[in-house]
Amino acid sequence: MAFFMQQVVNALQRGSFYALIALGYSMVYGVLMLFNFAHGDVFMVGAYIGFFVSSGLLALSAVGFLSLPTGVTLALVLVLTLIISMLLNSVVGMLVERIGYRPLRGAPRASAAITGLMIGIILETSNLALLGAQRRSFPDLIPGETIHVLGVNITPKKIVIVAVSLLLMFGLHLFVRRTKWGMAMRAMAYDYVVVPLMGVSINTIALLTFGLGSALAAAAGILYGVAYPVLDPYMGVLFGWKAFVAAIVGGRGSVLGAGLAGFLLGFIEIFVAAFLPSTMRDLIAFSIILVILTFRPHGFFGEPYSAQLRL
Amino acid sequence: MSADENLRQRLSSVGRRVRQWLRVQFSPVPLLGWFLAALVAVILEMLVGTPLARLLGMSKFPVLFGFALALAQPVYIPSAIVYVLLIYVLPVALVARLSIRLGNLLAGWLMRTSPLLSVVVHLGLLYGTLHLWAGLSDYRVLVVRLMLIAIMLTLSLNVVNGYMGEFSCSHPGFMALGAYAASLFSVLFFVGNDAFGAPLLPIGLGPFLFPLGLILGGAVAALGALLVAIPSFRTRGDYLAIISLAFMFIIKSLFENLEFLGGARGLSGQPDWASLPVVFAWTILCVWTINNFVRSTVGKALNAVRDGELAADAMTVDTRRTKMVAFFFAAFWAGVAGGLFAHVLRYVNPGTFDLKKLAEVLAMVYLGGLNSVVGSIVGAVSYNLLSEALRPLELYKWIIIPLLFIMVMIFRPTGLIAFREFDVVKLLHPREGTPGHAGPGAVEPQAER
């Protein structure tokens, strides 16, 4: 039982990364009906931005810029890192939209997917060219003793990671449901031909969507860095594509669905690795997803729709 | 300001005149003439390539039109340009221009005697040129073989992504299935290794039964396509994209876990049966069948399904069957390409068929052009040449190539040559500049303004 609960805790942590990244895919897909194949690499960029921001802030506090107790400083650094990196990374996401997607607004959707793919490759390669091949280790922002609860090891890291990601998801949910901008996004998802005629600019909404998704990806990147403190330029590739699949399983444009599917993917992966040889992880995870999609073609919360591919 | 405009106008008028002159000079050259000219250029390179390169200060002739050399050592840029001009551009232009009359006569005679003969002669010339050109260095042989395989892959993916208008990500998976099935066939029956024991048949039979192995690879890939097609063709939408992506991960992971196929270490020991003539023959067969397929009723039905599934259904097209047939067909050819790929490299491992391969195949299809056989050929060839030519730039290659792709997508969203039919007969016809002799393929002299 303790082993089982331990796996649940691990799965919650892994699922939060998938969920946060999947939200970015899901929003772009829901609002603009586009695949943003650069998103996995935007996640990578977010992790690197987080690395530099947090290292910079730590260096500032080391030279005596702030004299607070260590715990408070680290908490402050974490919060500031999250905020600054999310802002910076949303700019990166908007740039991706501006360069790779806006010029192709009337083109076949698949062409935009290809530009996204190419921007992703450029991001990876330029990272490698600028920063070199050595791996960076993320500073330990959440130190702390492991807590034992009923035989389950819980580190403060895990608590913070799950809490922050749930908080961000809830915030996004509120934003999409309760604000005017969120309403505009939902309207655009409903019909991107008529809504621009009602005075909602598709370009503004596209920028907003990419920005929000990239901000969440930056948060995921920082939390990932906290959990597994090794960053490399290709870390976003596999993670991104898996989160993409999770986004679709959640259902088009559904915040709740993408979040749940991300956690589901985390659970499947952790439990397969716990009970079976870990090389079987992808095989079983994707087989389960194939079965889910066979019986629920539009994902958990997706409405049936008929996409005209505009080719 | 006005002087500047004046200059620009004059320059553009010069450019227009040059282009017009080129068109007048070279539009009557039939395809046969171009092939002959290429053959002459290659023979010239065989005879005087190395001495000329020495004369120009290079240690040996530039292997790939001098791109790699010029990028690695910029000192050699002028010599490389001179070499390419003297060996390729000038002879091709001269022979093509001078052989207009002869070429057209010959092409016309061939066409009148038998179109099939004409096709055979053209292919023979093309193969001869490729063989001689590639024969000068092992590197060229490898590049040409991989390029031909890339053509097969691109074409088969274009059937799904272009002609059918879906977005399929499963091609690396099909390729892996074909590669492993064909490798298993040849290793099990003809080579033998630790896992399978002694070979079951004498190796002398191998090259003759190799086509069976490739067809087996294609068939296995088509069977795998069933797994994607059954769940995804019930509704339309972006459904295929996700299922095929999941399928790709499943196949890769499956091969990583099959220990008797080498697991993640891969499978080696394939015999060297995928030589240049074999790969060439399979590529021609692939281009021929796919071109016929997309021009057949099924191919037209496929386009109808893409443009409006409901309307096609109303017009008695069995939409589900059409999509299934096209998907199996594409998967079959991807499997054959995979089998050849495994025998060219003589080693396969699951890591080859990953997201990078997917990005590459997708890029070739969308660069070349959707819904077009010529486009796919152009896309595969240009991507492979570019990728080889920019190799000396190492890391920066992967910044330049994606940037180029983004430019192409922005300025030509459906690819370089999209929605173009590939009519072989029209292509092979003689071309006369004079309107009286205009065959179906004659280029009409365009009115200049």
**Contact (CB<8Å) A114/B366:** yes
What is the pLDDT, as a whole number, of residue B432?
A: 66
Structural domain includes residue B408: yes
Q: Which of residues 40-99 of A touch B (CB under 8 A)?
A: 99
What is the pLDDT, as a whole number, of residue A309?
A: 36
What is the pLDDT, as a whole number, of residue A303?
A: 65
Which residue in chain B has the smallest CA separation from A240?
B355
Which residue in chain B has the smallest CA separation from A129?
B395
CA distances from A275 to A268, B63, B77, B252, B385 (A): 11, 54, 60, 21, 47
Mutate to test the interface with B, among A237, A239, A283 (most CBs of B within 10 A): A283
Q: Which of residues 260-299 of A touch B (CB under 8 A)?
A: 277, 279-283, 286-287, 289-290, 293-294, 297
Q: A114 vs chain B: nearest CA distance in angstroms?
A: 7
Residues B71 and B158 occupy one common structural domain: no
Nearest partner of B217 among B343, B325, B339, judged by Cα? B339
Overall number of domains in chain A:
1
User: Average pLDDT for consecutive 10-residue bins of chain A (311 residues)?
Assistant: 85 91 88 86 93 89 73 84 94 92 84 89 90 82 78 84 92 91 86 84 91 94 89 87 86 82 91 84 86 80 53 30
**Contact (CB<8Å) A306/B235:** yes
Q: What is the pLDDT of residues A37-53, one digit of tens each?
A: 899 999 999 999 999 99
Residues B113 and B139 occupy one common structural domain: no
What is the pLDDT, as a whole number, of residue A305?
A: 55
Mutate to test the interface with A, among B243, B265, B356, B383 (most CBs of A within 10 A): B243
Q: Residue B413: its chain A contacts at CB < 8 A?
A: 104, 106-108, 111
**Contact (CB<8Å) B257/A103:** no
Nearest partner of B42 among B111, B103, B130, B118, judged by Cα? B130
Residues B67 and B203 occupy one common structural domain: no
Angle between helices A156-178 and A255-275 (to 10 degrees): 150
User: Residue B438: is its pLDDT beyond 60?
Assistant: no
Structural domain includes residue B128: no
Least confident of A43-52, B22-31, B63-72, B427-436: B427-436
Structural domain includes residue A307: no
Structural domain includes residue B434: no
**Contact (CB<8Å) A277/B257:** yes
> Is the distance from CB of B305 to CB of B229 less than 8 angstroms?
no
Residues B271 and B218 occupy one common structural domain: yes
Cross-strand pairs, A147: A154
Q: What is the mean pLDDT of residues B57-82?
A: 79
Residues B242 and B103 occupy one common structural domain: no
- State which residues form the domain around B83: 2-119
Structural domain includes residue A111: yes
Cross-strand pairs, A154: A147
Residues B150 and B74 occupy one common structural domain: no
The pair of three-digit structure tokens given for residue B148, joined into one six-digit string:
């031909």
Q: What is the pTM of this model?
A: 0.87
Q: Residue B355: its chain A contacts at CB < 8 A?
A: 237-238, 241
> Is the distance from CB of B344 to CB of B153 less than 8 angstroms?
no
Q: B348 vs chain A: nearest CA distance in angstroms?
A: 18
**Contact (CB<8Å) B241/A35:** yes
Local confidence band at B441 (pLDDT 50, 70, 90 cut-offs) = very low
Q: Residue B395: its chain A contacts at CB < 8 A?
A: 125, 128-129
Structural domain includes residue A308: no
Mutate to test the interface with B, among A41, A121, A238 (most CBs of B within 10 A): A121
- In this complex, the residue of B231, B398, B403 whose CB is nearest that of residue A293 is B231
CA distance linking residue A179 with residue A171, whole number of Å: 11
Structural domain includes residue A177: yes
Residue B165 backbone zone (phi > 0: left; psi -120 to 50: alpha; other: beta): left
Which residue in chain A has the smallest CA separation from B168?
A110
What is the pLDDT, as a whole number, of residue A66?
A: 65
- In this complex, the residue of A108, A117, A282 whose CB is nearest that of residue B253 is A282
What is the pLDDT, as a whole number, of residue B237?
A: 63
Residue B193 carries which DSSP code? B
CATH number, residue A45: 1.10.3470
Residues B62 and B163 occupy one common structural domain: no
Q: Which of residues 128-157 of A touch B (CB under 8 A)?
A: 128-129
Residues B93 and B173 occupy one common structural domain: no
Determine whether A138 is exposed, middle or buried from the number of CB atoms within 10 Å of its CB (0-12, 13-18, 19+): buried
Structural domain includes residue B443: no
Structural domain includes residue B445: no
Local confidence band at B447 (pLDDT 50, 70, 90 cut-offs) = very low
Q: Does A248 touch chain B (CB under 8 A)?
A: yes
Structural domain includes residue A21: yes
Structural domain includes residue B447: no
Structural domain includes residue B65: yes
Contacts of A90 (CB under 8 A, 6+ apart): A210, A211, A212, A214, A215, A218
Q: What is the pLDDT of residues B214-246, one digit of tens each?
A: 999 999 999 999 888 888 777 666 778 888 888
What is the pLDDT, as a whole number, of residue B6?
A: 84
Residues B110 and B220 occupy one common structural domain: no
Residues B74 and B107 occupy one common structural domain: yes
Which residue in chain A has the smallest CA separation from B400?
A122
Helix (H) or strand (E) holding A148: strand A147-149
- State which residues form the domain around A92: 2-295
Q: Tokens 């910079």 sit at which residue?
A: A56
User: Residue B417: is its pLDDT beyond 50?
Assistant: yes
What is the pLDDT, as a whole number, of residue B171?
A: 92
Residues B90 and B143 occupy one common structural domain: no
User: Residue B337: is its pLDDT beyond 50?
Assistant: yes
Structural domain includes residue B325: yes
Structural domain includes residue A306: no
Local confidence band at B446 (pLDDT 50, 70, 90 cut-offs) = very low
Q: Residue B403: its chain A contacts at CB < 8 A?
A: 118, 122
Kindly provide the ipTM of the predicted complex, given to two decimals.
0.84
Which residue in chain B has the smallest CA separation from A305?
B237
What is the pLDDT, as a whole number, of residue B61?
A: 77
Residues B306 and B403 occupy one common structural domain: yes
Determine whether B242 is exposed, middle or buried from the number of CB atoms within 10 Å of its CB (0-12, 13-18, 19+): buried
User: What is the average pLDDT value for chain B, to the nearest integer?
Assistant: 84
**Contact (CB<8Å) A279/B409:** no
Q: What is the pLDDT of residues B368-404, one digit of tens each?
A: 888 889 999 999 999 999 888 888 887 888 888 899 9
Local confidence band at B118 (pLDDT 50, 70, 90 cut-offs) = confident
Overall number of domains in chain B:
2
Local confidence band at B442 (pLDDT 50, 70, 90 cut-offs) = very low
